Structure 1
Amino acid sequence: MLDIECEDARWQAADLDRLVAEAAGAVLAHFGLNLDECEFAVLACSDARIAELNAEFRDKPKPTNVLSWPAEELSAAEDGGSPQKPEPDFTGECALGDIAIAYETCAREAEEAHKSFADHVRHLVVHGILHLLGYDHIRDKDATLMESLEVEILGKLGIKDPYILDEGPDPGS
């Protein structure tokens, strides 16, 4: 079950429900999980709200693009190892956790990287769900694994590698 709460009306105009469903479906399918059998929530908010959450949960009182709160610790013990697969509870659902995503930061990053807002949002949702599934980017091999998964999953959505910077239009054209 997917629950999306829009605290900032700009997200509704961005068709967030569709973007989240596409990204979530791609991530979960990659791991053989069904969107209908996984439970997580997305808070679509402003930079001000995500800065509050970032201060409260990470002691970093500034906006960020996406935050994740996994329902359970699935991380691999070894750097670069695969996390545990989430197990369904007695109802048959897998509780994954919660994600918050900030509108202004997403819009600014997309513009700075010359990427479409929709593609950047899908990337951040993929990134957030990978965190819910136990992936991280603190240790080097974990970061390499997580980034390669993001690139592979986004490629299945027709989104090019987000880690290759697009310098924008050629000034000579």
Structure 2
Amino acid sequence: MSKPFFLCLPGSVRRASSNALLLRQLAAEMADFADAAVYDKLGDLPIFSPDREGPATPAVISDLKAQVARADGLIIACPEYVHGIPGGFKNLIDWLVSGDELYGKPAMLVHANGHGRGAFLRTQLCEVLTTAGVALIEPDGASIYLVSKPEAEIAACLATPENRQLLSMAGRKFAARATARET
């Protein structure tokens, strides 16, 4: 039996995004029991327009849709901008909402800004995702405080045994629940 595949969606395009770094570490911790890939084309997505759907769909959007459709679940790490979802990440969701790629797709949220920060984002993201048909089975999968730290410090923090175990356990729990829904 093959391992499940999870697509990790960072909500930031910043080069040293703490969310993307968190997702990369999570993917590494899941390697024994799942395949996970971090999506890295968020900044390449054109602004959504219904006029560009169907035959006019840009190749980068067709690729995104194919990756989401192939995934057994989604793992999302998104920053909070001005108490809300960053425009680029909302744009990604807008491109997916008219198709069936998101419908019923299991998802887990992980957070790079613990200590209760990001509550506005989680509320909005849960609302938008469930409205789009996502099966949000782990709204608080894991939270590690990483914001405002330099990239090397983030990497060191993620590499501690405690955080590696936290991420592995969150990933294992999500993988079990996501794949159980399919059987």
Q: How high is the TM-score relative to the length of structure 1?
A: 0.32
Q: How high is the TM-score relative to the length of structure 2?
A: 0.30
